[in-house]
């Protein structure tokens, strides 16, 4: 074969092979880069893998030239194919194909004429390949370099706000009904302030919700202690009310017990206005405060009603579960108030009103 046709065919073969390899390579690079970038992103998000180690996933891209070459080989242009391509674009006379087959010098002149009017070897179309490659590489680099927040996004601020608002309402209800000692009041105030700061920062939502739950339980414990004190005081008041006429001394003693219990637990809101000047340090009825049977019954009933309202207020705030708690006739709380079977011995002097 003459050098003219041989050189032309080789140039066409090289150009066609390169085009096939670049086309396959760009497709393989796009798929490999998307897969590697996705692996990098998931590793950084889910297992907090350092960027340097996550970059190892990009090693998948190194296989692209080999896989593209293996795939493109089936599309490489043979010498016969190159001669056919040139012949078809040079008038389709079959001269180049025949000259390639017979290798006879007699075809040399015709071969030169055909090559003279043959088109130039087409250039490479790089734009599509570059576009695909750039897309894949760009995604992989973005997955590798994009900043990953180290703190997991927490619940919406509205959830924290609602939880804190409910907690503040419960604390306000307790403070309305209970006079806390200085140490307890300071503790509750500090814990509430700390909770508000944690909710505002929202760095650890789970810990913040746990702290809110703990604070809720703390307030419920205070309310439960108040309920127990109310039940104890109610027992004493029930006796005082029932025996105000029959045994004023016993009634006054029980009245003192109830007042002492309420004052000790800070439940002075349950004391009627007549006892507003009560000396909480001394506890009990103020000195010189005289009670006749009618007054004892009246105060007992009034305090019973105040205690009932206090429990209802705590229950409405969600601090107490009052379901199943029976408060029937005045002086009856659960089993309290049924005093028909109680026996009291009243001394003769007491019956005559003498001490």
pLDDT value, residue 262: 83
In a domain, 150, yes or no: no
Residue pair 229/179 in contact by the 8 Å Cβ criterion: no
CA distances from 223 to 32, 163, 175, 230, 316 (A): 64, 19, 10, 10, 12
In a domain, 155, yes or no: no
Q: Give phi and psi for 53, each to the nearest 5.
A: -75, -35
In a domain, 114, yes or no: yes
112 with 222, same domain: the answer is no
CA distances from 196 to 102, 165, 338 (A): 95, 10, 48
308 with 169, same domain: the answer is yes
In a domain, 152, yes or no: no
190 with 331, same domain: the answer is yes
pLDDT value, residue 162: 82
pLDDT value, residue 35: 92
Identify the DSSP state of 342.
-
For the question of whether the overall pTM of this predicted structure is more than 0.85, the answer is: no
239 with 134, same domain: the answer is no
CA distances from 308 to 69, 139, 301 (A): 89, 69, 11
Single out the residue in 145, 169, 194 at which a domain terminates: 145
- Using CB atoms within 10 A of its CB, is residue 133 exposed (0-12), middle (13-18) or buried (19+)? buried
113 with 170, same domain: the answer is no
50 with 168, same domain: the answer is no
230 with 254, same domain: the answer is yes
223 with 259, same domain: the answer is yes
Cα separation, 354 vs 348, whole angstroms:
9
pLDDT value, residue 301: 82
In a domain, 58, yes or no: yes
In the chain, which residues have pLDDT < 70?
1-7, 82, 87-122, 150-158, 160, 202-203, 270, 272-291, 324-355
128 with 165, same domain: the answer is no
The number of folded domains in the chain is 2
Domain residue limits at 259:
161-355
pLDDT value, residue 116: 63
Single out the residue in 145, 169, 199 at which a domain terminates: 145
76 with 220, same domain: the answer is no
CA distances from 170 to 44, 195, 227, 321 (A): 43, 14, 15, 14
Which residue carries 């439940």 as its tokens? 267
86 with 214, same domain: the answer is no
Tokens of 94: 């079959």
Tokens of 201: 């920062």
pLDDT value, residue 102: 61
CA distances from 237 to 31, 242, 298, 330 (A): 84, 8, 11, 10
């Amino acid at each position: 074969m003459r050098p003219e046709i041989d050189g032309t065919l080789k140039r066409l073969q090289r150009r066609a092979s390169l085009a096939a390899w670049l086309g396959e390579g760009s497709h393989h690079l796009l798929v490999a880069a998307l897969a590697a970038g996705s692996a990098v992103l998931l590793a950084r998000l889910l297992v907090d893998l350092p960027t340097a180690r996550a970059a190892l996933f990009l090693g998948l891209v190194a296989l692209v030239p080999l896989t593209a070459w293996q795939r493109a080989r089936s599309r490489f242009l043979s010498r016969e194919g190159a001669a056919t391509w040139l012949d078809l674009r040079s008038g389709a006379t079959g001269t180049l194909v025949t000259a390639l087959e017979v290798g006879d010098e007699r075809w040399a002149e015709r071969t030169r004429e055909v090559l003279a009017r043959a088109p130039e070897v087409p250039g490479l179309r790089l734009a599509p390949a570059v576009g695909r490659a750039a897309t894949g590489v760009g995604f992989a680099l973005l997955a590798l370099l994009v900043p990953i927040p180290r703190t997991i996004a927490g619940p919406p601020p509205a959830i924290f706000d609602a939880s804190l608002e409910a907690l503040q309402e419960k604390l306000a209800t307790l403070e309305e009904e209970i006079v806390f000692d200085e140490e307890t009041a300071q503790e509750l105030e500090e814990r509430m302030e700390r909770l508000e700061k944690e909710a505002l920062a929202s760095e650890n939502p789970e810990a913040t919700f746990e702290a809110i739950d703990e604070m809720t339980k703390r307030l419920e414990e205070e309310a439960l202690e108040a309920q127990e004190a109310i039940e104890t005081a109610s027992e004493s008041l029930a006796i005082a009310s029932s025996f105000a006429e029959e045994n004023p001394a016993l009634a006054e003693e029980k009245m003192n017990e109830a007042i002492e219990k309420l004052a000790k637990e800070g439940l002075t809101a349950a004391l009627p206005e007549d006892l507003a000047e009560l000396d909480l340090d001394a506890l009990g009825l103020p000195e010189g405060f005289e009670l006749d049977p009618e007054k004892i019954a009246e105060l007992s009933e009034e305090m019973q009603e105040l205690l009932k309202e206090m429990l209802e207020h705590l229950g409405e705030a969600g601090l107490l579960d009052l379901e199943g708690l029976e408060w029937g006739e005045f002086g009856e709380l659960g089993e309290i108030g049924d005093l028909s079977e109680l026996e009291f011995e009243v001394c003769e002097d007491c019956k005559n009103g003498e001490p």
